[in-house]
Structure 1
C-alpha cells in the first residue's frame, strides 16, 4: 500500500511539472488570463458610458451621454426678433407695431391728424410718452422741422394684441397761414424710446415746411385710434 501511495504522488508531481512546462513554453512568456463571462458582464454593467472600459466591453454607442454645446447668445434686437429676444421690460418695439394715419380733420384753418400705433405682436406691450414724426419726400429727405411737443403729462398705455394708441399731429393749413408748403410722400413714425421708424404713405395734401406759422405739434399717446 505504501508503494502504491508513493507511485500515485510521483505521478501527480510529474503531471504538475508537465503543466508548468507547458505554461512556460514559447520563450518564457506568461499565459494570458482567461476572462469569465460573469466578470465581463459585470464590467459592462458598471463601466461609465464612453469610458475605455465600456468600449472594451462592447457598450452600445447609444449608452454614451450626448455632449452639451455651450449656451447660445441671446439674439440681437433685429427686426422681427423682439418676441424671441428674452427682454422683460414690456415696452412696445418698432417690430411689434404698425403705424397708420387717420382721417385729416380740416376745421377753422387747422389740420388735425391722428397718428395711430397698433400692436401687431402676440404679446401685450406698453407705450409711454410721445411718438416721433417727420414728413419726408420721395427720396426720404425730411421736410420741415421736427414737430413741437405739446405740454402734457404722459401716461403708460397698455396695448393688448390688436389694440391701438394715438397721438394728434396738428398744423395750420398753409393756404391760410401763408407758410411755405410741400406735399410729403410719407410720414415717418417712431415709437417712444425706439430708433427705427415706421413709414406711412401720406395722402393729406400739403403741409407747412418753412416760414411763418410752419410749426407742427404732437400730443402724447392715448388709448384708441382717435378722438
Structure 2
C-alpha cells in the first residue's frame, strides 16, 4: 500500500469538489436556456385547399353541391314528322301530342268502289297551337241509346307516321267495309260514330249518315287505316 501525504490528499479533494460544482453549474445553465428560449411559432391560417370553395372526401359531394346525373332536366329530342303539305317538318317530342279536347272529328262522303264502302274519318286541330297524331284512331258505331253496334274496327296494315297539325289542319284515316248488300252480312244503322284519337281515352261523337253497316256474319269486318295528312285520299 502506497501512502500519500495529507497535503496531497487535501489538494485532490479540492480539485474533485470544483469539478463537481462546475458540472452542476453547466447543467443548470442548460436547463435554464430551454425554458427561456422556447421554439418560434407563426400565427395565421392555413392556405385553402384548391379545387373549389369546399373540399370533400373522395367519393362524396361537397355540402350544397349536386351529385352528377341528378336533377338534370332531360333534353328534348327533335324528330322528323310528315306535314299536311307533303314535306317534313321538325318538331319537339316533348308534350306535343294532340289531345281529344284539341280536336274535332267528322266523317267525309262515301267513295264506294269494287263492292267496298270507303269513308274518310277526319280529325281537325281546333286549338291555337300545333300538335301531332301518330298511328291509328279508334272507332265504334253506336245506337241512339249509346250501345255499341258490332265489334271494334280492325287495323289495316300500314306504316304509321307522325302527322303534325298546325291550327286548322287535318288528318284522316280510311274507314272501309264490304257493301252489306253484296256480302250478305247482318246490318244495323248507327246513330253515331265514336272516334278516339291515338293514345287518348276520351272520344269524339260524330253523327252517322252513311246508312246501314255490317255488324255480324259474313264479311262483316270494318277496317281503319293509319292517319295521313289532309281530309281525304
Q: Which TM bucket (shorter chain)?
A: 0.5 to 0.7
| Greater share of helix | 1
Alignment partner of 1:166 is 2:166: no
**In 2, Cα distance between equivalents of 1:152 and 1:185:** 29
Q: Which runs of 5+ in 1 are unaligned?
A: 1-86
Alignment partner of 1:226 is 2:232: yes
Q: Offset of 1:172 from its aligned partner? A: 0.3
**In 2, Cα distance between equivalents of 1:210 and 1:181:** 7
SS at match of 1:175: helix
Alignment partner of 1:186 is 2:182: no
Corresponding residue for residue 196 of structure 1: 202
CA offsets 1:112-139 (integer angstroms, 9 cap, x no match): 0000000000010000000000000001
**In 2, Cα distance between equivalents of 1:161 and 1:224:** 13
How many residues get paired? 141
TM-score calculated relative to the size of structure 2? 0.60
CA offsets 1:160-191 (integer angstroms, 9 cap, x no match): 00000000000001111000000000000000
SS at match of 2:201: coil
Q: Offset of 1:88 from its aligned partner? A: 4.5
Q: Offset of 1:108 from its aligned partner? A: 2.2
Larger Rg: 2
TM-score calculated relative to the size of structure 1? 0.61
**In 2, Cα distance between equivalents of 1:222 and 1:105:** 17
SS at match of 2:181: helix
Superposed, which structure 2 residues align to 1:1-227 within 5 Å?
88-227=94-233
**In 2, Cα distance between equivalents of 1:159 and 1:222:** 11
Structure 1 runs of 4+ off > 2 angstroms?
A: none
Q: Which runs of 5+ in 2 are unaligned?
A: 1-92
